[in-house]
Chain A
Amino acid sequence: QAGLTQPPSVSKDLRQTATLTCTGNNNNVGNQGAAWLQQHQGHPPKLLSYRDNSRPSGISERFSASRSGNTASLTITGLQPEDEADYYCSAWDSSLDVVVFGGGTKLTVL
């Protein structure tokens, strides 16, 4: 089961904007949307956005998700030191009836 494609790493300066991408296909991201998760070292993941790009309660407005075709994006504005983490996307694959994850992007805030 091929996973979703994410860049392994992204580095941005403090207070700048980072956009993370997640590419799938017509059977997953393209027709199911994607969810985004954040994971700090040594902690379980935390959901940042649902497949419809809405945020769970308590998630900062600095995190916004979107989708264009088979690519989902997570934009983080006003980067803070605490945003340094691993970010994963996930989606349901309707042809395989499985959840697929991206390999994760390590975000470094300089």
Chain B
Amino acid sequence: QLQLVESGGGVVQPGGSLRVSCAASGFGFSTSGIHWVRQAPGKGLEWVAFIRFDGSGKYYADSVKGRFTISRDNSKDTLYLQMNSLRTEDTAVYYCAKGPGPIEWEQEDWGQGTLVTVSS
């Protein structure tokens, strides 16, 4: 059974750093592109980043470029999002979402999300 399980969320002060993870199981992680998508409380979906199946291509929203880094460890079936210089507007539930193939951009399957709160 396909599973995506996010972890690592919590409360962090503005300017701080946090790394969230997404553990995958039940499908070929190493052959799938994966997204991070976030949703601020009461707001819509905002795409954050995408990484191709082998890590050869990484793409970022302007709002996080230069501050966030997406990476993956295919030997551990795990996706990461390193978040630096956090701002209050980064407060959101962070979802990982699997694409239908190695580089396709649709968001086919989603985890339950992990809440990141940036507050002093």
Query: Residues on A close to B: CB < 8 A?
Result: 1, 32, 35, 37, 39, 44-47, 50-51, 56, 86, 88, 90, 92, 97-104
Whether B112 and A92, one on each chain, are in contact in the complex, defined by CB atoms closer than 8 angstroms, is: no
Main secondary structure of the interface of A (DSSP, over half): strand
- B73 beta carbon closer than 8 Å to chain A: no
B60 CB contacts on chain A under 8 angstroms: 98
Whether B47 and A90, one on each chain, are in contact in the complex, defined by CB atoms closer than 8 angstroms, is: yes
Whether A45 and B106, one on each chain, are in contact in the complex, defined by CB atoms closer than 8 angstroms, is: no
Residue on B with the closest CB to A100? Answer: B47
Residue on A with the closest CB to B59? Answer: A97
Whether A92 and B108, one on each chain, are in contact in the complex, defined by CB atoms closer than 8 angstroms, is: no
List 7 additional A-B contacts (Cβ < 8 Å) besides A37-B45, A45-B97, A101-B47.
Answer: A35-B106, A39-B45, A44-B110, A47-B109, A50-B100, A90-B105, A102-B44
Cβ-neighbour of A45 out of B59, B61, B107 (below 8 A):
B107
Whether B59 and A47, one on each chain, are in contact in the complex, defined by CB atoms closer than 8 angstroms, is: no
B111 CB contacts on chain A under 8 angstroms: 44
Whether A47 and B62, one on each chain, are in contact in the complex, defined by CB atoms closer than 8 angstroms, is: no
What 1/0 flags go to B11-24 for Cβ under 8 Å of A? 00000000000000
- B35 beta carbon closer than 8 Å to chain A: yes
Residue on B with the closest CB to A99? Answer: B47
Closest 8 CB pairs of A and B: A99-B47, A44-B110, A92-B105, A104-B44, A35-B106, A101-B45, A103-B44, A47-B108
Whether B107 and A90, one on each chain, are in contact in the complex, defined by CB atoms closer than 8 angstroms, is: yes
